[in-house]
């Protein structure tokens, strides 16, 4: 599955959440550069306009609003060949510091929104379509990030389950699990108490590296790769 360069065949369309910031923004740029058409979902519009980028403003934490937006997309945006759920938030805190509201907000955005997208869009994806979810290396557990880790771990269970169901249609479902990545989330003052450690490679992961992996997962070369969590962490998981 590939996009199309300008002047070539009709480009394939990817629906991408979190398109206006961080990893989602990097994935959007990579998709556009590769010739894809991008249907982007986020609360704020992307900083850069593009003729193949169609933005739908929506608060993904609002289930009714997302459902209405998906109705509009299915009516007006044409066929979608790939779904990439990159939107995310981080609420940190050790035992006694986090609230149920923190966990509910992350669960809604990471897990329920992903479920809503797949429930609505997977039946309409063509055979050979692709689904990519943005997880986290901390899904294996991290002090001060228990609720965040739990929501990201849930994505792996979802991805493997969906991959089993969709395999007969050759639709792949995979999770990209980044370590500390150089995005605005990394620099959020609210996480100062549990600041990320520099990976053994001596730098944080570049969002463009995550975008390159996402692009590969949408390519013909990844047609047999499904139900997997791929960790990109600069060596942090080796410690």
Q: Got the DSSP string for the chain?
A: -----TTSSPPPEEEEESTTSHHHHHHHHHHHHTT-EEEEEESS--SS--TTEEEEE--TT-HHHHHHHHHHHHHHS----EEEE---------TTT--HHHHHHHHIIIIIHHHHHHHHHGGGSPTT-EEEEE--GGGG--TT-HHHHHHHHHHHHHHHHHHHHHGGGT-EEEEEEE-SBSSTTTT-GGGGGGPPPPPTTSSPBPHHHHHHHHHHHTSGGGTT--S-EEEE-TTGGG-
The residue length of the chain stands at: 239
Task: Please give the average per-residue pLDDT across 191-220, as a whole number.
Answer: 86
Picking from 28, 152, 5, the residue whose alpha carbon sits closest to that of residue 82 is 28
Confidence of residue 233 (pLDDT cuts 50, 70, 90): confident
pLDDT averaged over the chain?
91
Contact present, 102 and 148 (Cβ < 8 Å): no
Contact present, 43 and 59 (Cβ < 8 Å): yes
185: pLDDT strictly greater than 80: no
Name the residues annotated as catalytic.
148
pLDDT for position 198: 82
Task: Specify which residues 181 forms β-bridges with.
Answer: 205
pLDDT for position 76: 83
Contact present, 12 and 81 (Cβ < 8 Å): yes
3: pLDDT strictly greater than 90: no
Q: Tell me: the pLDDT tens digits for 52-79?
A: 999 999 999 999 999 999 999 998 878 9
47: pLDDT strictly greater than 60: yes
5: pLDDT strictly greater than 60: no
Domains of the chain plus CATH, in order, are 13-238 (3.40.50.720)
pLDDT-above-90 percentage for the chain: 77
Q: Tell me: the pLDDT tens digits for 77-136?
A: 789 999 999 999 999 899 999 899 999 999 999 999 999 999 999 999 999 999 999 999
Task: Please give the average per-residue pLDDT across 167-183, as a whole number.
Answer: 93
How far CA 45 is from CA of 57, 72, 142, 219, in Å, comes to 7, 17, 32, 27
Confidence of residue 190 (pLDDT cuts 50, 70, 90): low
């Amino acid at each position: 599955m590939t996009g199309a360069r300008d002047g070539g065949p009709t480009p394939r369309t990817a629906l991408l959440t979190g398109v206006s910031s961080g990893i989602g923004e990097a994935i959007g740029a990579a998709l556009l550069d590769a010739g894809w058409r991008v249907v982007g979902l986020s609360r704020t519009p992307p900083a850069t306009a593009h003729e193949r980028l169609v933005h739908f403003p929506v608060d993904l934490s609002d289930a009714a609003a997302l459902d209405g937006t998906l109705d509009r997309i299915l009516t007006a945006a044409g066929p979608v060949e790939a779904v990439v759920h990159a939107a995310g938030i981080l609420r940190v805190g050790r035992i006694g510091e986090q609230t149920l509201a923190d966990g509910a907000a992350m669960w809604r955005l990471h897990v329920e929104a992903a479920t809503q997208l797949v429930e609505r869009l997977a039946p309409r994806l063509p055979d050979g379509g692709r689904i990519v979810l943005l997880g986290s290396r901390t899904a294996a557990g991290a002090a001060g990030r228990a609720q965040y880790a739990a929501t990201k771990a849930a994505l792996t269970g979802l991805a493997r389950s969906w991959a089993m169901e969709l395999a007969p249609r050759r639709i792949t479902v995979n999770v990209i699990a980044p370590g500390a990545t150089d995005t605005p989330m990394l620099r959020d003052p609210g996480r100062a108490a549990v600041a990320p450690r520099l990976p053994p490679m001596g730098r944080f992961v570049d969002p463009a590296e995550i975008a390159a992996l996402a692009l590969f997962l949408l390519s013909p070369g990844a047609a047999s790769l499904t139900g997997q969590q791929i960790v990109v962490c600069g060596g942090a998981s080796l410690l």
